[in-house]
Amino acid sequence: MSRIEIRPYIYGNRNVFDKFDALFLFGIAILAYQITGTIAVLVAPDYEFVSILITQLTMFFTVYIYAKARGIRFENATRFNAPFTWYNIPLMIVLALGLIFFMIPIDSWFTTLLESLNIHVYSGETDLGSTTATQLIMLFAYSFGPAFGEEFLMRGGIANGLSNSMGKWKAIFLSAALFSLMHTNPGQLIHPFVMGVVLAYVMFTTGSIWAASIIHFVNNFTVVAIELWFLDDFNAFYEKNYIWMMIVGLVVAVGVLVLVTLLERKKSARYAVVEDKQEEIVVDEEAQKLIAIQYEVANRTRRILARVLFYISVGICVITFVAVAAGFMDTVV
């Protein structure tokens, strides 16, 4: 009898996602997003918040169900259960506001550039409702939905999975690029990419996905609230102060990022992903060979399926992006 280590890809539990988990999650989430979003629009065409909440829940449960099916500890792999220091909450709020002030002028200039090149830009205008109740529902949907669904998919699943195979910085920029592409709008190339970089960075730095969720929530809440109730006043302020907005926003955002980095470095063990514990059992040589074959087949199939789903979903996003840019579509997937 010989002792053999049973890989957790087939048996037992894992505490982390890997690169192929990340590719699979992006692939299946985009496809599921398409299906549930279409169903929501058909069932409740006059209630956009239903579509928003359903698609965001789709992203969250894609990660959750996949983790459970693969024997991956969801709470650890997504950094859901990592300790999150209270003082990071106001820091993340200030960081989000700084990013908004910095990015609004850049978004405006970039949109003007695209339009001068005759590239169609989806306006992003939507009916936020005419009554206070409807407006509050839309504010809730746009703020909580993406801060929950998109974060658990793009940072909790994809950024974490990529980082465990290719390192933190490659994972940050690749996940940010996918986050930008997912919006399928030429006018939203820059803002989601910058946000994606910052969101992944603060998650890795603080060790908690809740840091990214807070920033995402504040960003969406502020933008929607301005559009609902303060648009005229904000536009008047912006016309006179957009240069200062960008400068102050950049200084504040960079300052908070530096401060958070320094604070977290002073802590000995802010958050550490637990090592995979691989179950060991005693088997004979014949069983050992069979397990090795099963492991290789299972992982080969997993890698192929992950790549196929990933490329299909990237293709869908690219086609939609080109269709919007050419003016054939005025909606974002």
The pLDDT tens digits of the residues spanning 129-141 come to 678 888 899 999 9
Q: Is 307 left (phi over 0), alpha (psi -120 to 50) or beta?
A: alpha
- pLDDT the model gives residue 311: 96
- pLDDT the model gives residue 49: 86
Confidence class for position 84, pLDDT limits 50, 70, 90: confident
- Average pLDDT, integer, range 165-184: 94
92-101, 110-119, 191-200, 293-302: which has the minimum mean pLDDT? 293-302
- pLDDT the model gives residue 87: 87
- pLDDT the model gives residue 11: 43
- pLDDT the model gives residue 327: 79
Dist CA 137 CA 134 (whole Å): 5
Q: Is 279 left (phi over 0), alpha (psi -120 to 50) or beta?
A: beta
Q: Which of the listed ranges 40-54, 73-87, 111-125 does the model predict with the highest average pLDDT? A: 73-87
> Are 94 and 160 in contact, with CB atoms under 8 Å apart?
no
The pLDDT tens digits for 244-274 are: 999 999 999 999 999 999 988 876 444 444 4
More confident residue, 174 or 292: 174
20 contact partners, CB below 8 Å, separation of at least 6: 161, 302, 303, 306, 307
91: closest CA among 222, 204, 239, 210?
A: 210
Q: Can you give the C-alpha Rg of the chain in angstroms?
A: 22
324 contact partners, CB below 8 Å, separation of at least 6: 120, 121, 122, 184, 185, 186, 330, 331, 332
Q: Is 72 helix (H, G, I), strand (E, B) or coil?
A: strand
Dist CA 227 CA 223 (whole Å): 6
More confident residue, 162 or 325: 162
More confident residue, 288 or 228: 228
- Average pLDDT, integer, range 290-307: 73
- pLDDT the model gives residue 85: 85
Helix or strand holding residue 282 (H, E): strand 280-283
- Average pLDDT, integer, range 213-224: 96
Q: Is the pLDDT of residue 104 over 50?
A: yes
Residue with structure tokens 């060979």?
Answer: 289
The average confidence (pLDDT) of the chain is 85
Helix or strand holding residue 309 (H, E): helix 285-325
182: closest CA among 290, 317, 45, 5?
A: 317
- Average pLDDT, integer, range 105-131: 81
Dist CA 172 CA 203 (whole Å): 10
Q: Is the pLDDT of residue 7 over 70?
A: no
91-105, 261-275, 316-330: which has the minimum mean pLDDT? 261-275
Residue 293 corresponds to which tokens in the numbers above? 């074959």
Long-range residue pairs from 308-313, CB within 8 A, at least 24 positions apart, any chain: 308/27, 309/23, 309/24, 309/26, 309/27, 309/28, 309/31, 310/23, 310/24, 310/26, 310/27, 311/27, 312/27, 312/31, 313/26, 313/27, 313/28, 313/29, 313/30, 313/31
Confidence class for position 204, pLDDT limits 50, 70, 90: very high
The pLDDT tens digits for 19-64 are: 999 999 999 999 999 899 889 888 887 788 888 999 999 999 999 9
User: What string of DSSP letters covers 119-134?
Assistant: -----------SSHHH
Q: Which of the listed ranges 131-145, 200-214, 226-240, 298-312 does the model predict with the highest average pLDDT? A: 200-214
Residue with structure tokens 């496809």?
Answer: 31
Q: Is the pLDDT of residue 296 over 90?
A: no
Measure the CA dihedral 104/109/114/115, to 10°. Answer: 100
- pLDDT the model gives residue 8: 46
DSSP secondary-structure letter at 186?
G
More confident residue, 40 or 285: 40
- Expressed in percent and rounded to 5, the helix, strand and coil fractions of the chain are 75, 5, 20
55-64, 270-279, 301-310, 316-325: which has the minimum mean pLDDT? 270-279
